[in-house]
Amino acid sequence: MNKCCAVTLPAKMQDVNIQNYINGEWVAPTSGAYLKNYNPATGMEIAPIPDSKSADIDNAVRAAKSAFPMWSNMPGVERATILNCIADLIDQNCAALATFESQDQGKTVASAAAIDIPKCAEYFRQFAKYVTEGIRETESSMKLVCTTSSINKMVPSSQRATTQHVASGVAALITPWNFPLLMVCEKLAPCIAVGNTCVVKPTELTSVTSYLLTHILNAAGVPKGVVNIVFGSGVNAGEPLVKHRDVRLVSFTGGSVTGAKVGALAGGLFKRVSLELGGKCPSLVFSDCDLEHAITTHVRGAYQNQGEVCLSASRQYVQRDIYEKFLDGFRKQVCQEVCVGDPANPKTFYGPVVTKQHMEKVTSYIRLAQEEGAKVEFLVNPNDPAVMNVSADGRLTIEGLEGGYFIAPTLITGIKQSSRVMQEEIFGPVVCVAPFDTEEEGVQLANDTQYGLGASVWTEDQKKLERVMRQINSGSVWGNNWLAWDDCMPFGGMGCSGTSREHGPWSLEFYTETKVL
C-alpha cells in the first residue's frame, strides 16, 4: 500500500519550468520549441510551455497504452487509495496552487482558493468512493450505475446474466482555460478511477497548474504511464491526440467551434466522445420573484470569474413591471461591490481576462453593441482608486497593473434579440439585460439560441416555476438560484452546448465499457 508523501512545489512562478510529463518523467518537447505564456494581470511573460507535436503525443499514448493492463487490473481499492492521496496533496497545497492559478489565468486568488482548488480534491475523493462502494444512489436519480461491480439477473432455469462496466483503455482529455486545474481534475478523477490511463492536453493558455499537478501525481504514487500530460496547441498537439489510433475515448471541454472539429474527428474514428461546449445562458426574472435575491445572484452570475464561465448568466430577461427597478438595483450593487483589479487582493471581485486576444474579442462585442445603438454602461465604482482609466470600449487601466487585460463590468440594454451580442458567447464580464411581457414571450426569448447549457427561472409562484422550467431547452435549469451544485447530477448541454452528460454516475458511464456475461 502506497504511503502518501508530501510534495515540494516551486516557490514562485520564476521557478516553474514546464515540461511534458510522459511515462513518469519530465521531458522536453521533441521539437525543442516552446510557446509563450503571460500573466494576464501584468501582461508579463511567465513560464513558457512545450510546443508539442505528433512525436510527443505518440510517446505519451504509447506510455498510456503500456500502463493500461497493470492499472485496469489493479484492485479498485488500491486505485482509490492513490486517488485519496492525490486529493490530500491538492488540499495541502491549496494556497500555492491558488496563487499559481491566479497568476496564470487572471482569476482572483480568493476564488481559486475557495472554489477551484478544493473542488479538484473533491473530485478525486468522490470517485475514490465510487470505486470502493460500487454503487451510489442519488437523491433524485433512479439510476444505479456500478463501476467495477455490475448488475446480476437471474433468468429462467439456471442461467445468470451479469452486466459489467469495465475500463475502456487510453483516454484523451482536452481541457479549457477558464478553470484550468478544476477542468483537468474533473475529467482525470473519473477517468483513472475506473481503470483507464490517459493523455491530458491542457489548453496552451493556462498550463501552469496542470504542470504542478504532475508533481502531485508523481508524489501520490500514480504509476508511470497512467497519466501523461502533454502541453501544446490544439492544432499541433490536440489534433494528433484525438486522431491517435490507440486513443479509445475523448473528453473535451472548450468552445463550440473547436468542439465541432473534435467531435467530427473522434466520431469518424468510432471513438466515444464527450463534448462540453459553450453557452449563452438565459434567465427569466418574473415580477413576482424575490427581487433582492434575484439581483444579488445575477450580479454574481454575470461577473464571477470574469464572466469566463460556460454557465455565465449572460442574457437576463426581466419582466417589464420590475425591469427598471431590477436595473437600478443591479447597477447599484455592481458599483458598490464589484471591484476589478489585482487578483491577489482579497477585496477584488474579479481579475483580468485570460489573454490579450481574448480581451480583444470581448471588447469587440462591446464595440459592436455600441455600433448597433445599444446602451452600454461600464459599472465602475467612481471611488475605486485603483481604476485609473476606462476606455471607450470598456478596457480598464489599473494602477500598478497597467499591462493587464482588465475589462469593466459591462451592462448592455436596448440590444436586439437577433444581435450577435445577444446570440454569441462573449465569455467575458458583459451582460445583456432585456425586458419581456408575457410568460410565453419569456420562454420564447430564452429558447431563442443555438445553445442550451444552463438557465434560471425566478418566481415565487410554484406552479409557474415548474411550468416554465419544464419548457426551457437547457441541460440544467435552476429555480430561484444560479449554479446551486450537486456533483451527482448530470451536467451537460443541448444544441451547440454539447453532446453528453458528465458528473457522478454519468461520468462512470462515459468512461467505462459495458459488457454482458
Catalytic residues: 276, 310
CB 381 within 8 A of CB 336: yes
Q: How far is the CB of 322 from another protein (least distance, A)?
A: 17
Nearer to another protein, 293 or 375 (CB): 293
Q: How far is the CB of 148 from another protein (least distance, A)?
A: 5
Nearer to another protein, 77 or 264 (CB): 77
Q: How far is the CB of 480 from another protein (least distance, A)?
A: 7
Dihedral over alpha carbons 285, 422, 115, 167 (to 10 degrees):
110
Residues 468-497 that bind another protein (CB under 8 A): 479-480
By CB under 8 A, tell whether 73 contacts another protein: yes
Q: How far is the CB of 155 from another protein (least distance, A)?
A: 7
By CB under 8 A, tell whether 150 contacts another protein: yes
Q: How far is the CB of 161 from another protein (least distance, A)?
A: 9
CA 250 to chain centre: 16
Residues 118-137 that bind another protein (CB under 8 A): 131-132, 134-135
By CB under 8 A, tell whether 514 contacts another protein: no
Cell numbers for 418: 437577433
Kindly write out the interface string for residues 326-365 of this chain, putting x where it contacts another protein by CB under 8 A and - elsewhere. ----------------------------------------
Binding segment toward another protein, per CB under 8 A, in 5-13, 44-52, 151-159, 365-373: 151-159
Q: How far is the CB of 272 from another protein (least distance, A)?
A: 21
By CB under 8 A, tell whether 283 contacts another protein: no
Task: Work out the end-to-end distance of the chain between its first and last CA atoms, rounded to an integer number of angstroms.
Answer: 31
Q: How far is the CB of 285 from another protein (least distance, A)?
A: 14
What's the rounded Cα separation, in Å, for the pair 374 and 291? 25
CB 33 within 8 A of CB 204: no
Residues 159-178 that bind another protein (CB under 8 A): 160, 162-164
Binding segment toward another protein, per CB under 8 A, in 4-12, 68-76, 226-234, 467-475: 68-76
- Sign, CA dihedral 108-50-53-356, equals positive
By CB under 8 A, tell whether 75 contacts another protein: yes
What's the rounded Cα separation, in Å, for the pair 264 and 323? 43
By CB under 8 A, tell whether 76 contacts another protein: yes
**How many Cα atoms sit within 13 Å of 495 on the Cβ side?**
16
Cell numbers for 164: 459489467
Nearer to another protein, 38 or 68 (CB): 68
By CB under 8 A, tell whether 156 contacts another protein: yes
What's the rounded Cα separation, in Å, for the pair 190 and 201? 16
| Cα Rg, the chain, nearest whole Å | 23
The 3-class secondary structure across 279-318, one letter per residue, is CCCEEEECCCCCHHHHHHHHHHHHHHHHHCCCCCCCEEEE
**Which of 27, 28, 94, 151 lies at the binding interface for another protein (CB under 8 A)?**
151
Other CB atoms closer than 10 Å to residue 44's CB: what's the count? 12
What's the rounded Cα separation, in Å, for the pair 408 and 346? 18
Cell numbers for 15: 521557478
Kindly write out the interface string for residues 373-412 of this chain, putting x where it contacts another protein by CB under 8 A and - elsewhere. ----------------------------------------
What's the rounded Cα separation, in Å, for the pair 383 and 380? 9
The residue behind cell 429462467 is 156
**Which of 97, 146, 284, 412 lies at the binding interface for another protein (CB under 8 A)?**
146
Nearer to another protein, 223 or 255 (CB): 223
Q: How far is the CB of 290 from another protein (least distance, A)?
A: 8
- Sign, CA dihedral 352-354-357-361, equals negative
The 3-class secondary structure across 419-433, one letter per residue, is CHHHHCCCCCCEEEE
By CB under 8 A, tell whether 153 contacts another protein: yes
Nearer to another protein, 74 or 483 (CB): 74
Residues 422-461 that bind another protein (CB under 8 A): 459-461
What's the rounded Cα separation, in Å, for the pair 503 and 486? 9
Where is 214: in which H helix or E strand? helix 208-220
Instruction: Enumerate binding residues for another protein (CB under 8 A).
Output: 73-77, 131-132, 134-135, 146, 148-156, 160, 162-164, 459-465, 479-480
